[in-house]
Structure 1
């Protein structure tokens, strides 16, 4: 099988994983965060877990990128910067800001790490090697629309994380109803923002890998957002009745 064949097979695998993940999460709540529970094997501190499972998206993407034939091209470098804007935050800044005490099953970390190695590989492979973008791509409507969606989603994602962190005072435990920002409309604007980001990436790269990642992100986060919404409604009788799970006024 040539390189194009391998690339196509890996992209197809990611679409398959998206379908499997969506079906599995209809029945199982991933056991971390508010759904942490026993029976999933050994656990590690949540902060370490996030760094271990998310850092391949920085390390592997960068390693594949520098081996690509177009690694010095302007568009490839711009797309690299976009990718790192998200994953430096997700792999290193976000864990550093987490409150200590949470734990995560090692199994979840291992599964996420494996996915991120696959996903970083196929996206970097396209951006730095197979894509072959001309500089004029930076003025193409698909790139411009995708970049707007990507950075708008990133802002919503980061701001929502900040709102959630500020709900508790130092040393305080438990949960409260979040307000403000995207929480005016949905229960999980951090997930909404991330889904928007990766559909923006799919547009900006106009790539099979980008589309596969956007579909997988939706398959992974939409069920969890729906679970969060139901959890809030069950736990808080005064939860805002007009708030939706993931998409304002719709879902």
Structure 2
């Protein structure tokens, strides 16, 4: 089996799995963070789990860039920059900023995350830096409206995601523990603006690459984060009697 055929099987298989997992996640909440549970087997500390889950997104994507000949055309460099802008922070900065205390993550969850990010980085990186072909993203692509629109949406989502993380990271004063109601920024409208921002990012990436693997990643992001946002929203409302009633879970004014 040649690589393009293998690649197509992986890509369509990932879409099928996303369609199956999406409804299941409305009933099963991944047991890490505030939903921590001890029934999922051996655990690792949160930081180690995050590093394990997110590092392939940086390393595998860059490996695809390298295997593709380290292309220096503007479109390839722009795609590399946007992807790594998100994932270098998520893999190597965010885990050391979280004030998670003694929280643990099941190895099964970290392992599943590792498998997904490895596959996803391969599908997107191999397409952008090889299988799409040398003429798919010529220099003129940077003047294409799809690139401008998608990149702008991506950067807007990144800004929302970063602001939400900053609010969470500064929610507690030194020495404080426990959970509080986050306020400010997009928390005025939704319980999970960090998830909202991330979904916007990868929709933007799908638009600016105009690719099936980009679309698959956006759909995977929605399939994973929408049910988790609803779980977070229920958790907030159950834990805090004074939780703002006007807030939605994920999308301002809608959901």
Which interval holds the TM-score relative to the shorter structure? over 0.9
Matched, 1:225 2:229: yes
Which residue matches 1:16? 16
Deviations 1:116-151 (A, max 9, x none): 110000100111112331111111111111001101
Report the alpha carbon displacement of residue 213 of structure 1 after superposing the two structures with TM.
Answer: 0.2
- Compared CA separation, residues 146 and 119, structure 1 to 2 (3 A): same
Question: What's the offset of the Cα at 1:17?
Answer: 2.3
Contact 1:157–1:193, Cα closer than 8 Å, also in 2: yes
State how 1:38-187 maps to structure 2 within 5 Å: 38-68=38-68, 71-99=71-99, 100-131=101-132, 132-187=136-191
SS of the residue aligned with 1:55?
helix
Q: CA deviation at 1:237?
A: 1.5
Gaps of 5+ in 2: none
> Secondary structure of 2:93's match?
helix
Say how many residue pairs are matched: 251
- Output one character per residue of 1:26-69: Cα deviation in whole Å (capped at 9) or x when no partner: 11111000000111111111011101110000011111111115
Q: RMSD across aligned C-alpha pairs, in angstroms?
A: 1.2
In structure 2, what is the equivalent of residue 250 of structure 1? 254
User: Which residue in 2 is equivalent to 1:29?
Assistant: 29
8 Å CA contact 1:17, 1:216 repeated in 2: no
CA distance in 1, matches of 2:50, 2:22: 21
Q: 2:25, 2:82 → 1: CA distance?
A: 29
Distance in 2, matches of 1:79 and 1:211, equals 15
After TM superposition, give the deviation of residue 70 of structure 1 in Å.
Answer: 6.9
Could you tell me how far apart the structure 2 residues matched to 1:12 and 1:170 are? 48
Q: Is 1:216 the equivalent of 2:217?
A: no
Mean Cα displacement is larger for which, 12-21 or 78-87? 12-21
8 Å CA contact 1:49–1:104 kept in 2: the answer is yes
Deviations 1:148-175 (A, max 9, x none): 1101001110110110111112232211
For 1:69 and 1:97, locate their aligned partners in 2 and report how far apart those are by CA, in whole Å: 34
Unaligned runs of 5+ in 1: none
Aligned to 1:204: 208
Distance 1:220 1:170 in 2: 32
Shift of 1:2: 3.2
